[in-house]
């Protein structure tokens, strides 16, 4: 009995770095995947960068809605830049090693930016609620000071908890295999490699998901229930159509972001699937940021007009 325990202890190797497997099961497609992700990353930078420039330069877009949209696009760029450059480097150099410290930093920034995006979506929903349900009070409620405070609040609200959460995850010993079957350092695959009982850590993850993902989602849902109730009471069909139009873009982004995120995070360790999680993690780090500019610009006449004006100025 004593001998067996000693052998087990001897064979136990503490992980000092991870190997991000990524798409190693597709060795013949590494170059193709590199090109695809590079094009996507450039599109994310250009598309969201254009939104930031337009919302800051065009006088007609100096409203709370576009102020939040510009900040949301900035978060999208940061959010994607935490993961995609590392993925591109791994595909190009075929070196998949990442130290525990680098992995922890990546996870921490990824969580903070993801939560910031979640709260910004809730703030944008509240902005639409005030604009449609309380139009006379809109300039008073959504003044510049309030908008700045809401943006700052979206950034800092979850920071202390998420830094603590990251520390807690990496305080758990990782032993045995150091192969992280994922495209970046994310919570579910890391917990899969942790030693011993991780039920307590999983509980904290679920609590964080409720506070920083589900709660903002419920606030968005409540805002849109009230918006829908107000719109349906309007006698004018034109008024209803305009109100629905201003909300539809935001709703599409909310569905893309939360749909994939909930599936990836709100699954138990026993039902965890590496392939499924890879797909959905790519979905919420790539699809939402790359489609965000198209969703907002193509469905917004004011934004299209502002882009046209900027283009004409650049050509002259």
Tell whether 4 is covered by a domain.
Answer: no
pLDDT digits (tens, 9 = 90+) for 117-127: 999 999 999 99
Task: Determine contact, residues 186/111, Cβ cutoff 8 Å.
Answer: no
d(CA 30, CA 94): 9
CA–CA gap between residue 225 and residue 258 (Å, rounded) = 17
Is pLDDT at 195 greater than 90 in this prediction? no
Pair of tokens at residue 87:
């993925």
- In tens, the pLDDT along 72-116 reads 999 999 999 999 999 998 888 877 888 888 999 999 999 999 999
3-class DSSP assignment, residue 268: coil
Domain-located, residue 6:
no
Q: Is residue 44 part of a domain?
A: yes
Helices (H), the chain: 2-11, 30-57, 64-81, 84-93, 100-133, 138-141, 144-156, 159-171, 187-193, 199-209, 215-232, 237-265, 274-282, 288-298, 301-315
**Predicted structure pTM score:** 0.87
CA angle 163, 78, 15 (to 5 degrees): 45
11 lies in some domain: no
DSSP one-letter string for 174-232:
BBS--EE-SSS--HHHHHHHB-S--HHHHHHHHHHHIIIIIHHHHHHHHHHHHHHHHHH
- The span from the CA of 282 to the CA of 98, in Å, is 19
Q: What's the pLDDT at 241?
A: 73
**Mean local confidence (pLDDT), 195-204:** 75
pLDDT value of residue 59: 84
10 has a pLDDT exceeding 80: no
β-bridge partners, 179? 19
Are the beta carbons of 161 and 211 closer than 8 angstroms?
yes
Torsion sign across C-alpha atoms 66, 71, 74, 76:
negative
Judged by DSSP in three states, 18 sits in: strand
Containing domain of residue 87, as a range? 16-315
In a domain, 2, yes or no: no
CATH value at residue 73: 1.20.1070.10
pLDDT at 239: 63
The verdict on residue 9 lying in a domain is: no
Q: Phi, psi at residue 119, to the nearest 5°?
A: -70, -35
Which of the two residues, 93 and 261, has the higher pLDDT score?
93
Question: Using the 8-state DSSP alphabet, how is residue 27 labeled?
Answer: G
* pLDDT score, position 75: 94
**pLDDT of 3 above 50:** no
Cα 166 to Cα 231: distance, rounded to the nearest angstrom: 43
pLDDT of amino acid 121: 94
Residue 93 within a domain? yes
As for how many domains the chain has, the answer is 1
Residue 7: which pLDDT band, with cuts at 50, 70 and 90?
A: very low
Higher pLDDT, 187 or 311: 187
Q: State the average pLDDT over residues 258-278.
A: 64
State the pLDDT at residue 276.
67
Comparing 20 with 263, which gets the higher pLDDT?
A: 20
Which of the listed ranges 21-25, 210-214, 263-267, 278-282 does the model predict with the highest average pLDDT?
210-214
Mapped onto helix, strand or coil, the DSSP state of residue 288 is: helix
State residue 274's pLDDT score: 65
* Of 104, 64, 118, nearest in space to 185 by CA: 104
The answer on pLDDT for 15 being more than 80 is no
pLDDT for res 1:
39
CB 213 within 8 Å of CB 265: yes
Q: Indicate whether 1 belongs to any domain.
A: no
- Interval 146-186: pLDDT, tens: 999 999 999 998 899 899 889 888 888 887 678 888 888 88
| Phi-psi sector, 176: left (phi>0), alpha (psi -120 to 50), beta | left
Tokens read off for 108: 């921490």
Q: Which range among 54-58, 70-74, 273-277 has the greatest average pLDDT?
A: 70-74
Task: Confirm if 150 and 123 have CB atoms less than 8 A apart.
Answer: yes
pLDDT in tens, 209-260: 788 888 999 999 999 999 989 888 877 666 677 777 778 888 888 888 887 7
Strands 97-99 and 17-20: antiparallel
3-state secondary structure of 270: coil
């Amino acid at each position: 009995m004593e001998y067996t325990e000693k052998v087990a202890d001897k064979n136990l190797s503490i992980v000092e770095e991870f190997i991000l497997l990524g798409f190693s099961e597709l060795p013949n497609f590494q170059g193709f995947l590199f090109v695809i992700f590079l094009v996507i990353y450039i599109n994310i930078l250009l598309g969201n960068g254009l939104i930031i420039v337009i919302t800051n330069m065009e006088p007609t877009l100096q409203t709370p809605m576009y102020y939040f949209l510009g900040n949301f696009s900035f978060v999208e760029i940061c959010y994607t830049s935490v993961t995609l450059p590392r993925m591109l480097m791994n595909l190009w150099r075929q070196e998949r090693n990442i130290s525990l410290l680098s992995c922890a930093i990546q996870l921490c920034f990824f969580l903070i930016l993801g939560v910031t995006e979640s709260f910004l979506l809730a703030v944008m929903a509240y902005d639409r609620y005030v604009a449609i349900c309380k139009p006379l009070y809109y300039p008073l409620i959504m003044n510049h000071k309030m908008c700045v405070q809401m943006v700052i609040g979206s950034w800092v609200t979850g920071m202390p908890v998420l830094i603590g959460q990251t520390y807690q995850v990496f305080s758990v010993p990782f032993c045995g295999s150091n192969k992280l079957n994922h495209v970046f350092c994310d919570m579910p695959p890391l917990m899969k490699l942790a030693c011993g009982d991780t039920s307590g850590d999983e509980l904290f993850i679920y609590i964080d998901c409720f506070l920083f993902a589900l709660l903002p989602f419920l606030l968005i849902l409540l805002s849109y229930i009230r918006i829908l109730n107000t719109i349906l009471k309007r006698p004018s069909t034109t008024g209803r159509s305009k109100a629905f139009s201003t909300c539809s873009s935001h709703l599409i982004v909310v569905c893309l972001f939360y749909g994939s995120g909930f599936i990836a995070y709100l699954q138990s360790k026993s039902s965890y699937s590496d392939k499924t999680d890879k797909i959905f993690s790519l979905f919420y780090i790539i699809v939402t940021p790359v489609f965000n500019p198209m969703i907002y610009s193509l469905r917004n006449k004011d934004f299209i007009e502002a882009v046209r004006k900027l283009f004409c100025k650049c050509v002259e």
